[in-house]
Chains A and B, each alone.
Chain A
């Protein structure tokens, strides 16, 4: 992946959030406070604006800028969590390109930041339920010597499975946890937006 593709990824995420805004909000209205779609859309729209004219030296610069902007613009839990993911990942990447193994290590650093901040583990019915399987799949493909495009495709598929698997879970973190057993039967909005992030990566790297 190079700087151009990294920018394209972030733009593709912004387009996906725009397109799925209502769906995310609808999922969030079932178990949260009905603002996930509008918050993510507001955040990534701001990211695209912030990256416009921004001179990046490395792949990591783009991701750090993305994360910093999300923290500044989104609010709620999603802002700090997604912002930390992109910032921490970006800090690991200094070169003008990154191969699959470098990306995998960077994403893992992003996940570590998310888990430090939110203390969520798989099974809590959060974005981590999509993020962990996505990064596991990405890392396994990278270590097997597959291309970043192939790794991203596997990550996207794993994130989507993880997203679907949140439906039967009972939420233990965030506002959905107040529902207790009533959160069962609803797909988690955070896991859904995470699946969109990795689908966008797969699409950009394959094109």
Chain B
């Protein structure tokens, strides 16, 4: 393992110290492991709290700020945070209008947020939960833990965050978040595995000429392992899977994210985006807004995930609303 760290045990604490030093607009509670906006709670506004294992930066701490999240709870690398963190976050950011937990569908995240919701409820804080489960590589059946939550998390956090900023109530904020999730699909392909600092070796073995198709954000296996293909074929098979699950027709408007998994340079993400744009153009489906970059990563895993949200006018308007966070900033 070759990493820019001090020691595997101190990675999270050391990284949080860096976040605190780099972003004065954020408040980092290194003891409770909670990142909030520096200004304190937004009184009378619904507060959005997200969290999950670390190693997916900029998710979630990079999306804390006006127009998006109020707090993020980073767990150990690839391990969900604990209920104490969400409770501390809820206490820190509740402005009196309740809090929304944005939870990716992983067993550990779901359980810890569920316990936190109970604790927050005991504390008199009203909680609504948005479960993100957009990964079409996993069949949503009784035979698995259900679809994984991946790229749609960014869309949910941005759009629900904008509505909360406008003063919508808890039910309305939760409802738009759930609608964005329901309208979003993702699919990822990995070219290399990643190494968690604690494990010290790659999570899976992938030969030089192989790719993992339908991989999860922790390197969970996907649908199949194939010989490496050109970007055009990788994009086509990913979008085929997405369109098969959620058919999109000519004239439909979408928000599309071409996301790097951590180890893929931007030039390759733009190669992929060109293929995405061509695929959409051929079908007459509009890409109304797009993101190209690293938004939800898996340490140094090379590869790409594509996320498509079939967006209505309200979602697009909320997408365009000002946002000012370390990793997403416009209009502000």
Contacts and interface: CB of A to CB of B under 8 A. Distances in A.
B286 interface: no
Contacts of A77: 80, 107-108, 111
Nearest to A172: B143
Given A80-B111, A182-B221, A73 B148 contact: no
A173 interface: yes
Contact of A75 (B108, B144, B148, B203): B108
A33 interface: yes
A25 B199 contact: yes
Interface in B204-249: 216, 218-221
Interface residues of A, number: 30
A200 to B, nearest CB: 23
B220 A175 contact: yes
Interface stretch (B15-23, B71-79, B316-324): B71-79
Contacts of B62: none
A72 B84 CA distance: 6
Nearest to B138: A178
Interface string B145-157: 1001000000000
Given A34-B196, A77-B108, A178-B216, A72 B82 contact: yes
Nearest to B112: A80
Given A34-B198, A75-B76, A76-B108, A178 B84 contact: no
> Interface majority SS on A: helix, strand, loop or mixed?
helix
B143 A73 contact: no
Interface string B139-180: 000111100100000000000000000000000000000000
Given A71-B115, A175-B220, A76 B79 contact: yes
B81 interface: yes
A99 B331 CA distance: 67
Given A175-B106, A177-B143, A33 B203 contact: yes
Contacts of A71: 82-84, 115
B101 to A, nearest CB: 15
A100 interface: no
B11 to A, nearest CB: 12
B104 to A, nearest CB: 12
Interface residues of B, number: 33
Interface string A133-147: 000000000000000
Contacts of B75: 75-76
Contact of B115 (A38, A80, A172): A80
Interface in B57-113: 75-84, 106-108, 111-112
A8 B203 CA distance: 35
Nearest to A171: B144
A47 interface: no
26 contacts: A25-B198, A29-B199, A33-B78, A34-B198, A34-B199, A35-B77, A35-B79, A35-B199, A74-B82, A75-B112, A76-B75, A76-B79, A80-B108, A80-B115, A118-B111, A172-B143, A172-B144, A173-B145, A175-B107, A175-B216, A175-B220, A177-B143, A177-B144, A178-B144, A178-B148, A179-B221
Interface of B: 53, 75-84, 106-108, 111-112, 114-115, 138, 142-145, 148, 196, 198-199, 203, 216, 218-221
Given A80-B111, A175-B107, 14 more contacts: A33-B218, A33-B219, A33-B220, A35-B78, A39-B76, A71-B84, A71-B115, A75-B53, A75-B80, A77-B108, A175-B106, A177-B143, A178-B216, A178-B220
